[in-house]
Amino acid sequence: MKVLMISANTSRTPYPVYPLGMSMVAAAVSGAGHDVTCFDFLQSNLSFDALRDAVRKVEPEVVGISIRNIDNVNLLNEQRYVEIVRDVADCVRRESRAGIVLGGSAFSIMPERMLSAVGGDYGIVGEGEALFVRFLADVSQGRYPPRGTILRDGDLLPGEAIPSAQYSPEMLAHYLQSGSVAPVQTKRGCPLNCVYCSYPALEGREIRPRNPACVIDDIETLVNEHGARFIFFTDSLFNDGGGAFRKVLREMADRGVSVPWSAFFSPAGITPDDVELMKRTGLRAVEMGSDAACDATLRGQRKLFTWHDVETTNDLFAKAGVSTAHYFMFGGPEETRATALEGIENIRNLKCSAVFVFMGIRILPDTELYEIALRENLVTASQDLLVPYYYLSPAVDRNWLEKTLTDAFRPLRHVVFPPDALDDKLQLLHKLGYTGSLWELLAPSSK
């Protein structure tokens, strides 16, 4: 069948990111023998003319729209992305009678609501490779499900069967202009239960590692054939408790691959040997999901580590000369004035790192945070969660919290509040040819 895949992501913050989800689904669809064309709305500079031309040229029988972000999860400078996805779907609809299938992380978080807001014909929840291929096999036999059907609960792919993305040279060239960051997924799934997190619902609770050799093949292709100079491992959590990350790093080291890389880490379970191996393979910067800044709020977020773990892991990387960025969300469950002040003091004492501070936590369905917010009467069961709504602990006043965080962090160059305050500078540095996420320039160790 002729399939047109469209990435409808329009976000450029903190930098434009290569549409990995669409490329992985495209690889599976093309592997199943279909004729796939990918169109990236962002790369085409949000041009509806270019979109229209692509639809006319491809004459697709099915169109898959990949929807990455609902919003920017930033209470203090809200950006919403769904309306323009609806315009994309409308544009396709005007040009073509093809069935429109929606997928992607933003779709999967609120499938029913997204289907009606965007106006697709069908939706696929979760990973798209197997279910989209099955859908195409059915419709190629004329077996269309009723319009409005949302497919879900397909068998998750075993890790070894997760495909390499179909990295498009033209698309990559576009994204490499912004910091030369190329994304690679080494595994799917997270077994933990952090209170706000939708990742386990998106990728499943079981860790499914890809074959490390295939992961390193991807890195070599990106570096040697496409000129990527920085790899971001997009795993929900890189340093999984089962140690799959070590196998990837050992394979990398055994094959002599060393390229600057970064990933999302949890501040637990990392040894000095791990750090040594990470450095050998090129680790440039650690993005640490510390999330809360003292023990009471860490417990409130159901984190399995303590503030002591945050400090110890931070020191481990600092000693090895690796910069870390910590992300914190103030105002979550169990936050009070006292915990906020304690958290600020803890952050002040954190050595050698950059810190990004969010206020409030975006409430997503199917999370414990949503249940808590319901119990505390902060949301109602009929509330439309597509409209961003943020959890703020009833024990702190919003204005007090915002002023306190602003006053505390304004004098500190390495603490960024609100968290997008440096996005424009980052984009300028990328234009000047700097690579990676670059916040390490803020970390006191690198001054």
Within 8 A by CB and 6+ apart from 167, the residues are 18, 23, 182, 218, 221, 222, 226
Binding track over 215-254 against ligand SF4, x by CB under 6 A = ---------------------xx-----------------
Alpha-carbon distance of 400 to 377, in angstroms, equals 21
Interaction between residue 129 and ligand B12 (CB under 6 A): yes
CA-closest candidate to residue 93, choices 156, 155, 139, 48: 48
Alpha-carbon distance of 183 to 284, in angstroms, equals 15
- Binds 125: which of ligand SF4, ligand B12, none (CB < 5-8 Å by kind): none
- Binds 379: which of ligand B12, ligand SF4, none (CB < 5-8 Å by kind): none
| Tokens 């069961």, located at residue | 381
- Binds 104: which of ligand B12, ligand SF4, none (CB < 5-8 Å by kind): ligand B12
Question: Which of 38, 40, 64, 212 lies at the binding interface for ligand B12 (CB under 6 A)?
Answer: 64
Interaction between residue 266 and ligand SF4 (CB under 6 A): yes
Task: Find the part of the chain contacting ligand SF4 (CB under 6 A) among 35-43, 65-73, 197-205, 429-437.
Answer: 197-205
Task: State whether the Cα torsion 112-84-70-199 is positive or negative.
Answer: positive
Minimum distance from residue 354 beta carbon to ligand B12 (Å): 13
Neighbours of 432 (CB within 10 A): 7
Interaction between residue 200 and ligand SF4 (CB under 6 A): yes
CA distances for 182 relative to 126, 135, 266, 351, angstroms: 22, 30, 22, 29
What are the b/e assignments for 49-88, b being 16+ CB within 10 Å?
eebeebbeebebbbbbbbbbbbbbbbbbeeeebbebbbeb
Interaction between residue 356 and ligand SF4 (CB under 6 A): no
- Positions in 214-243 near ligand B12 (CB under 6 A): 232, 234, 236
Minimum distance from residue 109 beta carbon to ligand B12 (Å): 6
In the DSSP assignment, the letter for residue 225 is I
Three-state secondary-structure class, residue 128: coil
Task: Look up residue 402 and give its two tokens.
Answer: 């915002």
- Binds 202: which of ligand B12, ligand SF4, none (CB < 5-8 Å by kind): ligand B12
- Positions in 82-111 near ligand B12 (CB under 6 A): 101, 103-106, 108-109
Contact 393, 362 (CB under 8 A): no
In the DSSP assignment, the letter for residue 253 is H
| Strand (E) or helix (H) holding 217 | helix 212-220
- Binds 311: which of ligand SF4, ligand B12, none (CB < 5-8 Å by kind): none
Cβ proximity to ligand SF4: between 235 and 335 the closer is: 235
Interaction between residue 197 and ligand SF4 (CB under 6 A): yes
Q: Which residue has its beta carbon closest to ligand B12? A: 103
Task: Look up residue 48 and give its two tokens.
Answer: 């509806």
- Binds 70: which of ligand SF4, ligand B12, none (CB < 5-8 Å by kind): ligand B12
- Binds 194: which of ligand SF4, ligand B12, none (CB < 5-8 Å by kind): ligand SF4
Please give the backbone phi and psi of residue 308, each rounded to the nearest 5 degrees, phi first: -60, -40
Cβ proximity to ligand SF4: between 95 and 240 the closer is: 240
The CA-based angle 117-120-121, given to 5 degrees, is 135
CA-closest candidate to residue 326, choices 339, 307, 299: 307
Neighbours of 381 (CB within 10 A): 6
In the DSSP assignment, the letter for residue 71 is B
- Binds 101: which of ligand B12, ligand SF4, none (CB < 5-8 Å by kind): ligand B12
Determine the residue type at 75. Answer: L
Minimum distance from residue 274 beta carbon to ligand SF4 (Å): 17
- Positions in 20-59 near ligand B12 (CB under 6 A): 20-22, 24-25
Bridge partners (DSSP) listed for residue 361: 391
Cβ proximity to ligand SF4: between 96 and 367 the closer is: 367
- Binds 183: which of ligand B12, ligand SF4, none (CB < 5-8 Å by kind): ligand B12
- Positions in 142-181 near ligand SF4 (CB under 6 A): none
Peptide bond into 111 cis (omega under 30): no
- Positions in 139-198 near ligand B12 (CB under 6 A): 181, 183, 185, 198
- Binds 132: which of ligand SF4, ligand B12, none (CB < 5-8 Å by kind): ligand B12
CA-closest candidate to residue 220, choices 257, 179, 172: 257
- Binds 21: which of ligand SF4, ligand B12, none (CB < 5-8 Å by kind): ligand B12
Residues near ligand SF4, by CB under 6 A = 190, 192, 194, 197, 199-200, 236-237, 266, 289
Residues near ligand B12, by CB under 6 A = 9, 11-14, 16-17, 20-22, 24-25, 64-66, 68-74, 101, 103-106, 108-109, 124, 127-129, 132, 181, 183, 185, 198-199, 202-203, 232, 234, 236
